[in-house]
A and B are shown apart, each in its own frame.
Chain A
Amino acid sequence: MLRMTNLSKVYRTHMIETHALRGFEIQVNQGEFVTVTGPSGSGKTSFLNIAGLLEEFTGGEYILDGVNVKGMNDNARSRLRNEKLGFIFQGFNLIPDLSLFDNVDVPLRYRGFNAAERKERIEDALAKVGLASRMKHYPAELSGGQQQRVAIARALAGSPKLLLADEPTGNLDTQMARGVMELLEEINAQGTTILMVTHDPELAVRSQRNVHIIDGQVSDLVRKTPTLFDANANAGGTHNHVA
């Protein structure tokens, strides 16, 4: 699903160079649920941004679902992002003056679906997260957990192959966080690959595989004890140490 080989990311200002990622290697297989942990400033977010085609990398190779993304122009990257990826953020990132229906509609518009198909997908996605009855509401009328569910519905509506989640429970209380995590596990159980950055060791334990990043490199890639969700992971998730 995703393979990065000897990937590097350098941020340059006129004074200094910062190596966010160096010699970064990772492979995530179709259907896996991988968590990414690491201390602040270790390069987790840079990795996720590059994986999500939101940032370009400096060197190395990145293959996303069989497509080498190196040197792609903005249009092609945007198209690939729209078709293959779904995003969930810590801050939900819903557009406040659009209804839930219209928020979920955004990625589908860029995909070019017709009105009928968009409607069907939006209703399905909102039904999956239990918010079908509130599609005319606005984000401000929902709790944090509900807003994150809408973000998940928006990410799912386009049937992405890879769901990228950046601390999706970071702004939620324990109960809401549990609900969101269960939802993600359900989605993964239905075959969607999930790559989730988290600070929470408990959540990291619940995934099939945890990737630990330190100083811009994968320091440890550990296969967890088999869990309920491992049935969905394929053979690609059996590495013990990659870095």
Chain B
Amino acid sequence: MFSYYFLLGVRSLRRNPALTALMVLTLAIGVAASVSTLTILHVMSSNPIPHKSERLLVPVIDNGPLEGYNPNESLRANSNEQMSYIDAANFLKSGQGERRTALYGVSAPIEPDRKDLPVTSSDGIAPSRDFFAMFDVPFLYGQAWSEADDKAGANVVVLSQTLSEKLFGAVDPVGKRIRMFSQEFQVTGVLKPWQPIPKFYRLIGGPGAFSKEDEFMIPFSSAIRNELGHQGSMSCSGRRDPGWQGLLNSECTWIQFFFETRTAAARGELQDYIDSYAAEQRKLGRLKRAAKNNLYDVMEWLEYQKVVGNDSRLSAWLAFGFLLLCLVNTIGLLLAKYSVRAAEVGIRRALGASRREIFHQFLTETAVVGLVGGGLGLILSFGALALIAMQSKQLQVVAHMDWAMLALTFVMALLAALLAGLLPTWRACQVTPALQLKSQ
């Protein structure tokens, strides 16, 4: 009977085109508003590296001064969550975890070999070699620089595909040299397009969690050796000597750090190491505060950094409130549509339809309205997302539909329609056939 009811539902769309159109449009607008905000929320709060997010851990050590320290306040209130060079260098040397990387943002004008091309200003990062394996960074050509390059602080570089094509065209540039920071850097690899959303490895200080891909990567050790200034935020609470070495010896925090453990369970061992490291640094008089040392896995880190702001959550709630209003309207429209069909219900009941069958028929017809509303809602959602994407570069990154949200659009439209259809359908079932048949 389902196919019969479905067919009746499709025919029913034509029965009262104006009312049907109004219903479909109401439903579609409500669904589109919800889906577009939910899509953004979904992308913003998605796990950018699901298969190993629990094994990628950010250490946070409080190296602030005793002045102004309140042990009852959160770490966020007391300090910056980045790391000083001293701690980063110690952690890199520690051998703890399976892999580890420190990184900071760098920016450089790049002079292409070809004299006809202009100098381009590019943004990149300076991570350790492990970065590529830790975050599953995909290579189009070549590979990451070697461990020896890391140790030596060699002038080597990995380019994004976009920058590579801009500098060399669509060829393999591995082995070629580019001039940046007034020095020659040898290309060891070119990445495939790689843009984790959110950009979990560089949430603090940089262009943001939803910024474009990094254009190049040079070794952390090379950036330090070449005294390349960082791009991003820095927090200095104590006294700092002038010059580059002064920065490296200071308690200024400006570096982000990740450990990768072999298993999620190994987090405990890493926590023990960090606690004993902090205790030792306190004994040495470097760390002043008896603060808790924290480890955050990727999802905890995103949550801690409030990547999904309260305004995004509020928008989603408001959109759902709007959907609820649309549902109430749809209920009214369905009541109107079904009330004029009391005679048909009477006839069908007389011809042998039970209340249950009338319920199935009308609910299936409502589902058809929901499907059409879902289709239109999807088109409107694409439109709404395109409009949202035009607002900023960050929104451009997150405002795109994926298969899960596409399916959700239809499921939501269908459920919304069915929910809206329950009362009108129930009322249709209550029709007294004898009354309707006599009144015809």
Contact = CB atoms under 8 A, between A and B. Distances in A.
Interface string B403-440: 00000000000000000000000000000111001101
A78 B354 contact: yes
Interface string A202-218: 00000000000000000
A75 B350 CA distance: 12
B351 interface: yes
B11 interface: yes
B11 A97 contact: yes
Nearest to B346: A93
Of A91, A109, A111, which is in contact with the most chain B CB atoms at under 10 Å from its CB?
A109
Contacts of B352: 78-79, 81-83, 107, 110-111, 158
A78 B353 contact: yes
Interface stretch (A29-37, A47-55, A63-71, A178-186): A47-55
A74 interface: yes
A54 to B, nearest CB: 4
A146 interface: no
A92 B1 CA distance: 25
A79 B351 contact: no
Interface in B345-374: 346-357
Q: Interface size bucket, B side? A: 20 to 34
A54 B357 contact: no
Contacts of B353: 78, 82, 110
Contacts of B15: 97
Contacts of A93: 343, 346-347, 350, 437, 440
A81 B350 contact: yes
Contacts of B355: 74, 78
Contact of A110 (B357, B432, B434): B357
A151 B219 CA distance: 87
Contacts of A78: 349, 352-355, 357
A42 interface: no
B354 A54 contact: no
A79 B344 contact: no
Nearest to A81: B352
Contacts of B344: 95
Contact of A82 (B343, B351, B434): B351
A95 B361 CA distance: 15
B354 A52 contact: no
Given A75-B356, A109-B1, A89 B351 contact: no
Nearest to A80: B352
A140 to B, nearest CB: 14
Interface in A148-182: 154, 158, 166
Interface residues of A, number: 29
A167 to B, nearest CB: 10
A107 B4 CA distance: 13
B50 to A, nearest CB: 49
A77 B437 CA distance: 17
A232 interface: no
Contacts of B348: 95, 106, 110
A54 B434 contact: yes
Contact of B354 (A49, A74, A107): A74
Given A97-B15, A109-B1, A75 B438 contact: no
Contacts of B432: 55
Nearest to B440: A91
A91 B438 CA distance: 8
B399 to A, nearest CB: 43
Contacts of A87: 350-351, 437
B434 A49 contact: yes
Nearest to B358: A78
Contacts of A52: 350
Contacts of B356: 74-75
Given A45-B438, A93-B440, A97-B11, A109 B4 contact: yes
Nearest to B356: A75
A93 to B, nearest CB: 5
Contacts of A92: 440
Interface in A6-50: 45, 49
Contacts of B346: 93
B4 A95 contact: no
Interface in A83-110: 83, 87, 89, 91-95, 97, 106-107, 109-110
A55 B434 contact: yes
A79 to B, nearest CB: 7
Contacts of B350: 52, 54, 81, 87, 93
A30 B11 CA distance: 40
Nearest to B11: A97
Contacts of A75: 354, 356
Contacts of A110: 348, 351-353, 357
Contacts of B343: 93
Nearest to B8: A98
A79 B4 contact: no
A78 B354 CA distance: 5
A181 to B, nearest CB: 21
A54 B351 contact: no
Of A45, A74, A78, A87, which is in contact with the most chain B CB atoms at under 10 Å from its CB?
A78
A106 B345 CA distance: 12
Interface of A: 45, 49, 52, 54-55, 74-75, 77-79, 81-83, 87, 89, 91-95, 97, 106-107, 109-111, 154, 158, 166
13 contacts: A54-B433, A74-B356, A77-B354, A79-B352, A82-B351, A89-B438, A91-B440, A93-B440, A106-B347, A106-B348, A110-B351, A110-B353, A166-B437
Given A94-B347, A110-B348, 11 more contacts: A55-B432, A74-B354, A78-B357, A82-B351, A82-B352, A89-B437, A89-B438, A93-B440, A95-B348, A110-B357, A158-B352
